Amino acid sequence: MPDLPTRVGSIELRNPVMTASGTAGHGAELASYLDLEALGAVVTKSVSADPWPGNPAPRVHQATAGMLNAVGLQGPGVAAWLADELPDLIATGATVVASIWGRSVDDYRRAADLLADAPGQVVAVEVNLSCPNVEDRSGMFAHSAEATEAAMAVTAGCGRPRWAKLSPNVGDLVPIVDAAVRGGAEAVTLVNTVMGMAIDPATRTYRLGNGGGGLSGPAIHPVAVRAVHDVAAARPDVAIVGAGGVLDGETAAELLVAGASAVQVGTATFADPRAPGRVAAELVDWCRRHGVEHADELIGAIHGHDRRS
């Protein structure tokens, strides 16, 4: 039977499959559908230092090969999340990666500082620097190397390894990755949603209450594969978490071969809440059928990396 523990930066995970932020809730919402403890980690929905109401409805719209969303990062704030949501998640035995976001550098600092006393089961913090559903193209942190570095640098107060979640909506990801690393990121999560929009031609109105939003699901999987591939080729020492259109064991394996050390399952969860657990099981089966005994045999294999040496 394949043995698939993996490492993302300094964090060891029992397997390479996690939930994606924003798709698994703030706490233990998926616990009745799958064993959260069996996943590599549960990445929680992004929270800011303060409560945030999100965007007006409608917030999601089905696309041809995925989903448009403009939820707008609704959340209770870090303090309320720690008190009200996290305990139920920890009770499942899950390994937790907390996700934070902000509208300013100081927002990121305050959110990270509030996590300093979080329980040890919160092993890392994913800093969401790319939030297309906020619809501020010029102000998105992940579109600027300077802003990315500044936001990452102020999150050290969380006292945990930090991962930078980046946007595919840039011409060249490598300078943004370099900036995230300079700011203290141990890993980068590639990618967040692709900017998109849907319009009802009959009513001449937007399909989403906020106008535009972020496209996720199978439609963006090739975008994610390319982003992971190119960053792994350019920066082989940077740990990568792959996200975007992971539906099954094979699409998970594809991102690993492209250079990711772990993957996240997101949009698939809306159609099947069991998807993260199913993908984890299918990845083990895929490895068995292809003679793969360890995750390191896959990670970065397209580049000739041999992590077993």
Instruction: List the strands of the sheet with 66-69, edge to edge.
Output: 60-63, 66-69, 212-216, 194-197
Give the type of residue at 113: D
As given in the structure block, the two tokens for residue 55 are 């965007």
Q: Residue 46 and residue 77: Cα distance in Å, rounded?
A: 9
Q: Residue 90 and residue 108: Cα distance in Å, rounded?
A: 24
Contacts of 12 (CB under 8 A, 6+ apart): 5, 6
Q: Verify whether residue 131 is a known catalytic residue.
A: yes
Q: Which DSSP symbol is given to 237? A: T
User: Max CA-CA distance within the chain?
Assistant: 60
Catalytic hit among 34, 71, 131, 225: 131
User: 68: exposed, middle or buried (C-beta count within 10 Å: 0-12, 13-18, 19+)?
Assistant: buried
Q: Which residues are catalytic?
A: 131
